């Protein structure tokens, strides 16, 4: 038994009471302009993106050692609960509420989802109900902090992670979502193109992961150069399949309608993942390594990450190039990481952070008006330099903000609840020390 903890339950009860005090009863449902086909596609897309978080749980859970499988998977599942409630209370308002200086939304705009059921459709998703758009965006907010956990796996205190996840979502994720996707957002008005979250999701998670790995320092096993094999590579392959499947909602759903643009994003997503999976294992083979299931899985995910910001702006053949280049770059960075003292347990920064940055730069090179009429300035490959340099500047801004803010939040979290488990808990494994659960064959 551990010391009773009443505060988290009290907070949930308070939020539950707020749901009664502020029931957000609609005054009239908006039906004008709503397209049933677009709405159906967006509901399916939201469900597909939701599936990505359990997919991530399998992906990460299979890669850690067998003493930390349950704890690692639970860190993804708990995000589904915590962020879902946080998003209804204030998260959606902070990301998509009335803009405050182009950097953050007004927390009162949709507080407790007031005005969401009966609100006008989002201006950039005019044919679907606002509540559908809101819940589609929730799934992005849900998976982002879950991505971060891979860098801190096998040594992070569960309660501290939950606190950090809440702070990260409010202070890092929602401002980036607002700046990038709100029509009045700073990066949006600057001309940054991020179709489905290369900056908002993957770069923010990647830089937060790097901050976490640096702040938590190295695992005991890492310092001793001990090798613990992945607990379950079939889990990793299953997780990859779920992620790849769900990513069609992630990217094609970001067209916010059942349109030719959604079909284009669907196609570029699949093609980049295929190219990157092949690129990773063939690069390994060129270095004298055997083709591995783990390598193809990681490579495919890197391709999915890299195509995310570009999915609705580039052609299908171009996505082959993007996936291949991203896999080679991330593979190289991951290899260099293994030679360093950095203990990013599951290589979140090399895969998501670097993959997201590659994708952002590739968008600045290959974005085409022929694919998407929303492209004002075409990419570098078409002779226009403006978009590329805007993306280069945004890359620096987002990187500095995401890393700096995340590191500060880690310091704050640690001051409230120690982030690092004890050496004994780490040795026993987090499944037992944090959750009193374990694999039967552990």
Could you tell me the pLDDT band of residue 1, with boundaries at 50, 70 and 90?
low
Residue 5 pLDDT: 86
Average pLDDT over residues 86-105: 98
Average pLDDT over residues 201-228: 90
CB atoms within 10 A of CB 36: 10
Region for 148 from its dihedrals, namely left if φ exceeds 0, alpha if ψ lies in -120 to 50, beta otherwise: alpha
* Adjacent-strand bridge partners of 100: 104
Average pLDDT over residues 227-239: 92
Nearest to 188 by CA among 124, 245, 134: 124
Q: What is the pLDDT of residues 51-76, one digit of tens each?
A: 999 999 999 999 999 999 999 999 99
CB atoms within 10 A of CB 272: 37
Q: What is the pLDDT of residues 427-437, one digit of tens each?
A: 999 999 999 99
Dist. CA 410–CA 344, nearest whole Å: 15
The residue count for the chain: 442
Contact 349, 151 (CB under 8 A): yes
Across the chain, how many H-helices and E-strands are there? Answer: 19, 2
Residue 439 pLDDT: 85
Dist. CA 123–CA 347, nearest whole Å: 37
321 alpha carbon, distance to own chain's centre: 23
Is pLDDT of 226 > 80?
no
Q: What is the pLDDT of residues 384-438, one digit of tens each?
A: 999 999 999 999 999 999 999 999 999 999 999 999 999 999 999 999 999 999 8
Residue 440 pLDDT: 72
Is pLDDT of 442 > 60?
no
Q: What is the pLDDT of residues 151-179, one digit of tens each?
A: 999 999 999 999 999 999 999 999 999 99
Average pLDDT over residues 327-341: 96
Where are the chain's structural domains? Answer: 36-430
Dist. CA 71–CA 431, nearest whole Å: 5
Residue 28 pLDDT: 86
Q: What is the pLDDT of residues 238-291, one digit of tens each?
A: 999 999 999 999 999 999 999 999 999 999 999 999 999 999 999 999 999 999
Is pLDDT of 2 > 80?
no
Residue 441 pLDDT: 61
Dist. CA 189–CA 182, nearest whole Å: 9
Dist. CA 279–CA 328, nearest whole Å: 7
Is pLDDT of 325 > 90?
yes
375 alpha carbon, distance to own chain's centre: 24
Tokens of 284: 């390994």
- What mean pLDDT is reported for the chain? 96
- Write down the CATH number for the domain with range 36-430: 1.10.3430.10
Dist. CA 208–CA 151, nearest whole Å: 9
Helices (H), 253-338: 260-286, 293-307, 316-338
Residue 224 pLDDT: 78
CA 75-169-151 angle, to 5 degrees, is: 45
The residue whose two tokens read 């060129």 is: 286
Contact 281, 77 (CB under 8 A): no
Helices 158-168 and 386-416 pack at an angle, to 10 degrees, of: 140
- State what percent of residues in the chain have pLDDT above 90: 94
């Amino acid at each position: 038994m551990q010391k009773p903890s009443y505060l988290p339950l009290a907070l949930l009860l308070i939020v539950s009471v707020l749901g009664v005090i502020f029931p957000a009863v609609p005054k009239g449902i908006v039906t004008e302009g709503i397209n049933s086909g677009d709405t159906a596609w967006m509901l399916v897309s939201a469900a597909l993106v939701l599936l990505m978080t359990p997919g991530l749980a399998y992906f990460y859970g299979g890669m850690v050692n067998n003493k930390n499988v349950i704890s690692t998977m639970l860190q993804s599942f708990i995000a589904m609960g915590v962020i879902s409630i946080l998003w209804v209370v204030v998260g959606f308002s902070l990301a998509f509420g009335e803009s405050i200086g182009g950097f953050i939304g007004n927390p009162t705009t949709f507080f407790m989802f007031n005005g969401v059921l009966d609100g006008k459709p989002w201006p950039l998703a005019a044919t679907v109900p606002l509540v559908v758009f809101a819940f589609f965006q929730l799934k992005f907010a849900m998976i982002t902090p879950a991505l971060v956990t891979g860098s801190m796996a096998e040594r992070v205190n569960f309660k501290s992670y939950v606190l950090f996840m809440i702070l990260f979502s409010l202070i890092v994720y929602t401002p980036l979502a607002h700046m990038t996707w709100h029509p009045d957002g700073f990066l949006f008005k600057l001309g940054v193109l991020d179709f489905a979250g290369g900056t908002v999701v993957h770069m923010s998670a990647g830089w937060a992961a790097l901050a976490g790995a640096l702040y938590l320092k190295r695992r005991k096993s890492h310092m001793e150069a001990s090798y613990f094999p992945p607990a379950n590579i079939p889990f990793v392959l299953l997780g990859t399949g779920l992620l790849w499947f769900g990513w069609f909602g992630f990217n094609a759903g970001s067209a916010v309608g059942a349109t030719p643009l959604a079909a284009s994003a669907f196609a570029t997503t699949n093609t980049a993942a295929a190219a990157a999976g092949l690129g990773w294992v063939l690069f390994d083979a060129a270095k004298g390594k055997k083709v591995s299931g783990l390598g193809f899985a990681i490579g495919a995910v890197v391709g999915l990450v890299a195509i995310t910001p570009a999915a609705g702006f580039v052609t299908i053949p171009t996505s082959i190039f993007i996936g291949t280049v991203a896999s080679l770059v991330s593979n190289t960075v991951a290899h260099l990481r293994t030679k360093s003292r950095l203990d990013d347990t599951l290589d979140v920064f090399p895969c998501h952070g670097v993959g997201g940055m590659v994708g952002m730069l590739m968008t600045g090179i290959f974005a085409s008006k022929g694919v998407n009429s929303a492209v004002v300035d075409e990419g570098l490959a078409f002779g226009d330099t403006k978009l590329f340099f805007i993306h280069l500047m945004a890359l620096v801004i987002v990187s500095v903000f995401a890393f700096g803010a995340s590191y500060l939040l880690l310091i704050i979290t640690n001051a409230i609840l120690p982030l690092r488990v004890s050496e004994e808990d780490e040795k026993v494994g987090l499944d037992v020390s944090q959750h009193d659960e374990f694999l039967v064959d552990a």
